[in-house]
Structure 1
């Protein structure tokens, strides 16, 4: 009996200890959870109620969204409005709009701490001195605000001097800068200098070099080893360095990787082009290998299946694949179909004959000339153009 009582007391004691442990353990987690959650909520409320000066300034003075301002505040810490105000005022005085300033600050908030007179103004004055107009300057810097962070004497001026030595004219240097403002960010010594020297070694004339640098500056700045390999490949294909097609082919080889190249060949093969035919088309218009597979199929479907041009005809004039289906191909072909239906035009006309001339020449030869016999031609042509405008406006809405 005594043993039973002791055993019972022990069981009660063990149970109470277990319950107490459970309560203490849960109380710990409850306190911890409450403390952590409460702390975070308190900090959040503090942040929401009292944003830092940096975040407030970026939102209220620079026009950044709260999210962008918080991200920018991790990069730059503003103690007072004096320096950033002077930076913004300098930009406004040089023709930058509020939207452009907002874009620049969002992309490179560090510029708000730059010395306006010693760091920023000399670079702005330099870019203006080489020929950038008052409207071009803000656009280029907005697209690439990193220009204002590069050293004037150690980077921007040497880059300009080399480009000027290659292109010879300020206008072409400006064109290069407008087409790729990042051209002024790359090191000319590491890649562009040896790339240009290599072109000269193979006999490329000034016109070829100028075409490459002015129209495809990113290609001119590409890593030298890759540039060298592409150059050799283009030469082995038989392209003449003195012709513009050489530069176009070089651009394609540098842009299109082998799997994509093979995929494009398969698409053309489905439209009846053998590898040899595709290669001849590439030599005539290298850009035909830059066109998306979807555009290739849409253009070929319309020209071959709806207009009746042969696949061989397109291969002889592959540049027509590059033309806009809605802006050029369909409006002109609509006119041609009316002329053929009324017997004014033969059915064996080449696609290039109607698609390659400029608009004035096309209208004179295929529209105005036949207005007396087919007065609906101009309406048909303009209806197609207007339909495109309606589609564009609808897309914007």
Structure 2
């Protein structure tokens, strides 16, 4: 049986005594029958070595069957259990089933439950469920619709299992900023603030201030695109420095389009801005062109509007852009003018 000797020696160090290999073999066989691969099994045994002493048919298989009946595929089940083996320590009837019933009361369908648990298996822990109830109640009191709460639980459940006192403070701050609880930006702000400590929040505010943003501009940017506060301080300074010093764009212009800060510098910002800089120097485009318009275009539209259109006037423009794209590790775009002209 795979890995039984290495596993046995490991758990011996954990003071788990194995008298025979019969039970461990049957446990490993059960995992393999449910399509757990070697990596999943190794993670489970490492985190929960006494699992090898479990009674597979009595304590493990019923749990596997319960999750399978719920709709979990073998890969999903293996990923969740190997990352959170504590689930297998819990009683099926006293803990797991009531936890699923609780999640169903919020998420309505098994499909939604599976989606949420793939994002955060910790939703099955009773301690986090108590937090979830409290934080959902807080959102309801502040007028967040059921659709918004459902979306938050499914896509960013970690935001709802933070300390309820801290969560309430965050909601108060978000309200004071003027967020509308019925809009998706409110939910995005809840998630962002739940992930940042006060110290980190202040550090990012300082980074934006140092790059020329006023308090009102920072607030405006956060309200229209909360993700701007998830960007690292290093990237904030790097991208803002490039936009202001290399492209000549005012900080206020970027603050009105904060979503471009989250774009990849190597794969999107630098290659496209290099093309824009060439075109600006030749007077072929307006220097006041909205940077968000240029940077958010699809690759196909950018090539059409800025590379192909100006190829005859500036013969090097295609070569410059192609080289930068290839240096960034992208190779799924036209390599020569014959391919480009087909766009």
Q: Is the 8 A contact 1:159 1:188 kept in 2?
A: no
Aligned counterpart in structure 2 of residue 181 of structure 1, from 104, 121, 135: 121
CA offset digits 1:250-275 (Å, max 9, x no partner): 12322222222222222211111122
Q: Does residue 1:76 correspond to 2:16, yes or no? A: yes
Corresponding residue to 1:157 among 84, 91, 97: 97
Provide structure 1 residue ranges, at least 5 long, that are not aligned to the other structure.
1-56, 391-397
For residues 310 and 360 of structure 1, the distance between their equivalents in structure 2, rounded to whole angstroms, comes to: 28
Is 1:191–1:222's contact at 8 Å kept on the other side of the alignment? yes
> Which residue is equivalent to 2:338?
none
2:230 to 270, 283, 290: 290
TM-aligned CA distance change 1:73 to 1:352, over 3 Å: same
Aligned: 1:316 with 2:256 = yes
- Structure index of larger Rg: 1
Confirm or deny that 1:348 pairs with 2:288: yes
User: Does 2:140 align with 1:200?
Assistant: yes
- The 3 A distance-change label for structure 1 pair 151 and 347 is same
CA offset at residue 246 of structure 1?
A: 0.7
User: Compared with structure 1, are the counterparts of its residues 134 and 369 closer, same or farther at alpha carbon in structure 2 (3 Å cutoff)?
Assistant: farther
1:195–1:220 CA contact under 8 A, matched in 2: yes
What does 1:141-152 correspond to in 2, within 5 Å?
141-152=81-92
2:28 aligned with 1:88, yes or no?
yes
The TM-score with structure 1 as length reference comes to 0.76
Correspondence for 2:335 = none
Measure, in 2, the Cα distance between the counterparts of 1:256 and 1:279.
16
Q: Give me the whole-angstrom Cα distance separating, in 2, the residues matched to 1:374 and 1:178.
A: 50
- Cα distance 1:344–1:63, how it changes in 2: closer, same or farther (>3 A)? farther
1:374-397 C-alpha deviation (Å, 9 max, x unpaired): 56555443432321239xxxxxxx
1:117 maps to what in 2?
57
1:30-49 aligned at under 5 Å gives the runs: none
TM-score w.r.t. length of structure 2: 0.87
Judge conservation of contact 2:129–2:161 (CA < 8 Å) in 1. Answer: no
- Deviations, residues 128-152 of structure 1 (Å, cap 9, x unaligned): 2222223222122222222222222
Q: Does 1:304 align with 2:247?
A: no
Distance 1:375 1:62, change over 3 A: farther
- Give per-residue Cα distances to partners, 1:284-303, cap 9 Å, x unaligned: 22222222211111111112
Structure 2 vs 1, CA of residues 171 and 335 (structure 1 numbering), >3 Å: closer, same or farther? Answer: farther
- Indicate the structure whose relative CO is greater, using CA pairs within 8 Å and at least 6 residues apart: 2
Equivalent residue of 1:383, what SS?
helix
State the alpha-carbon separation in 2 of the partners of residues 285 and 253 from structure 1. 13
Verify the 8 A CA contact 1:296 1:321 in the aligned structure 2. yes
Decide whether the 8 Å contact of 1:186 with 1:221 is kept in 2: no
Q: How many residues align?
A: 330
> In the alignment, is residue 233 of structure 1 matched against residue 176 of structure 2?
no
Residue 149 of structure 2 corresponds to 209
Correspondence 1:260 to 2:200: yes
Pairing partner for 2:190 from 229, 243, 250? 250
| 1:136-171 C-alpha deviation (Å, 9 max, x unpaired) | 221222222222222222222222222222222333
Shift of 1:368: 4.6
The worse-fitting range, judged by mean Cα deviation, of 193-202 and 238-247 is 193-202
Structure 1 equivalent of residue 4 of structure 2: 61
How far apart are 1:239 and its partner, in Å?
0.9
- State the match for 1:50 in structure 2: none
- Matching residue of 2:336: none
| Unpaired stretches in structure 2, ≥5 consecutive residues | 331-343
Q: State whether residues 105 and 112 of structure 1, in contact with CA within 8 Å, keep that contact through their aligned partners in structure 2.
A: yes
Partner of 1:366: 306
Matches of 2:212 and 2:121, distance apart in 1: 42
Q: Any conservation in 2 of the 1:211–1:244 contact (CA below 8 Å)?
A: no
